[in-house]
Every structure is written in structure tokens, then in C-alpha cells.
């Protein structure tokens, strides 16, 4: 049994976009796994006490952090069953999607929902989140949230590679879901569990249909929010 450490908010929902990539990858590989929700301020106490981020997975004695490193590890070590990438070129293309989501899409989404996400955090995380994010952004959470309207205006262009691709194929993986789909889904799960923003509705019909199909995968795993 593999344990994935995820972030849990005050509703008990698991909301880390990066950890959702890992949860879905484990299910795709058919591996027995459980997702354990922790607070931001608990991450340093999990596993070997040296962890700074989720996702972190614990597989027997082995502990591994970082969603991309975990995906590479799963693809290399679990050779039976379905591939996450469909070969070396698929892996290379998935890295592009990984960086688009992490450094393009997700920062924009955070501008839209940062105050709602903050309100839904466990109380013990609120001081940490405010201080660490205000230091990172160089402004208050409220000033960051003031960029929400501008972020919404920029969002269609950011989403267009996704919607244009889904106009002509069912999944980012082509005929079958691949790790690229799980990367994109992670951002949608983050928004779904942390805010009232209807991102699939905003993104249009094709993305909405893809999102519904993603939520149905692996016995509706992502619908559970945990
Ligand atoms: N490159 C990492 C990024 C992981 C990451 O940023 N995780 C966030 C949660 S989504 C985290 O654990 N942050 C810890 C903190 O802010 O203290 C990955 O892909 O896994």
C-alpha cells in the first residue's frame, strides 16, 4: 500500500494540485494507495521529518517527494499495466504541460481564488499561509486578490491550448488519458476544492465534457475530493 501525503483544508478536502497529479497517476497504474490529508504546518512532521512539500509518497521504506519525480519513478518502476506517458516523446511533451500548469495556469488561478482558498484552510495553517505567500508575492493576500479581474481576463488565453486540443481529441493523451491529463486535472481539482469559481464552465463546453470524464475515471476517484 502506497501512502500519498496531500493537503487537507478545513472541509477535509484534499486540495493540492500537485498531489492530485500523483493520486491519479497511482490509480492509473492500478496501484493500491491511500491519500492522507495533512496541514501545511504538518508537512515537516511526516515520514522522515525532512519533507517540505506534498506530494510526498511513502512506499514501504521508500519516501519520495515532488509530483514529477514521483511520476517518473512510477513509470520506470511499475512496468506492468498502463503507461503514464506512452514513451519518451510523450514524457517530453508531458513536461511541457507540467510547466504550463505549474508556472502559467496555476499562478493565474491563485490570483482569482486566493482569499477563498485562504478562508477554507485549517485554522492552524492561516498564519503560515498568509506570511509565506505575502513574502513570496511581495504584497498582502488582499492586494494579490485585487488582481482577480485582470487574471480572469487573461484566463481564456491561458486555457486556449487546452480547449483547442480538446476540440480535436478526447484526452490530452489522445485516445486515452495520460499523465498530461492528470496534470491539467490537478489545477481543476485545486479550484473545485478551494473556491466557488466554476472553472470548467468558464473554460467552455469541450473542457467541461473532458472535466466530467476525468472525474469519472478510476471509480470517480477525483469526485471524492479526497
Ligand atoms: N514541484 C513540486 C511542487 C509541489 C508544491 O509546491 N506543493 C505545495 C502544495 S501544492 C506545497 O507542498 N507547499 C508547501 C508549502 O508551501 O509550505 C511538485 O510538482 O510536486
* pLDDT tens by residue, 185-208: 999 999 999 999 999 999 999 999
**Beta carbon of 66 within 6 Å of any ligand 1 atom:** yes
Distance from the alpha carbon of residue 65 to the mean position of ligand 1, in angstroms: 9
Domains and CATH numbers, the chain: 2-77 (3.40.30.10), 88-224 (1.20.1050.10)
**Mean pLDDT of all residues belonging to the chain:** 97
CB-CB neighbours of 151 under 10 Å: 19
pLDDT tens digits for range 170-179 = 999 999 999 9
Do 221 and 9 contact (CB within 8 A), yes or no? Answer: no
Angle of CA points 124, 108, 207, to nearest 5°: 110
DSSP label at 51?
-
Ligand 1 near 54 CB (within 6 A): yes
Residue 80 has pLDDT above 90, yes or no: no
Q: How far is the CA of 54 from the centre of ligand 1 (A)?
A: 5
Grid cell 470548467 is found at 200
Locate the ligand 1 atom nearest the alpha carbon of residue 15 and give its number. 10
User: What pLDDT is recorded for position 81?
Assistant: 82
Residue 77, pLDDT score: 94
Q: Across the beta sheet with 2-7, what order do the strands follow?
A: 33-38, 2-7, 56-59, 62-65
The DSSP element (H or E) to which 63 belongs, if any, is: strand 62-65
Amino acid at each position: 500500500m502506497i501512502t500519498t501525503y496531500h493537503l487537507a483544508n478545513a472541509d477535509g478536502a484534499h486540495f493540492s494540485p500537485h498531489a492530485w497529479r500523483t493520486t491519479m497517476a497511482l490509480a492509473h497504474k492500478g496501484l493500491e494507495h491511500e491519500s492522507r490529508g495533512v496541514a501545511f504546518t504538518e508537512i515537516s512532521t511526516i515520514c522522515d521529518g525532512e519533507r517540505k512539500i506534498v506530494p510526498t509518497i511513502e512506499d514501504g521504506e521508500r519516501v519520495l517527494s515532488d509530483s514529477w519525480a514521483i511520476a517518473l519513478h512510477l513509470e520506470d518502476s511499475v512496468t506492468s499495466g498502463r503507461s503514464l506517458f506512452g514513451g519518451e516523446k510523450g514524457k517530453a511533451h508531458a513536461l511541457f504541460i507540467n510547466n504550463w500548469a505549474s508556472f502559467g495556469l496555476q499562478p493565474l488561478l491563485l490570483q482569482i481564488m486566493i482569499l477563498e482558498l485562504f478562508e477554507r484552510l485549517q485554522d492552524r495553517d492561516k498564519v503560515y499561509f498568509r506570511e509565506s505567500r505575502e513574502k513570496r508575492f511581495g504584497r498582502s493576500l488582499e492586494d494579490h486578490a485585487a488582481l482577480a479581474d485582470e487574471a480572469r481576463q487573461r484566463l481564456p488565453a491561458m486555457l486556449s491550448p487546452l480547449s483547442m486540443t480538446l476540440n480535436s481529441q478526447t484526452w490530452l493523451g489522445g485516445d486515452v488519458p495520460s499523465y498530461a491529463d492528470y496534470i491539467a486535472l490537478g489545477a481543476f481539482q485545486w479550484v473545485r476544492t478551494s473556491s466557488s469559481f466554476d472553472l470548467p464552465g468558464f473554460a467552455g463546453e469541450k473542457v467541461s465534457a473532458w472535466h466530467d470524464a476525468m472525474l469519472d475515471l478510476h471509480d470517480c476517484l477525483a469526485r471524492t475530493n479526497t
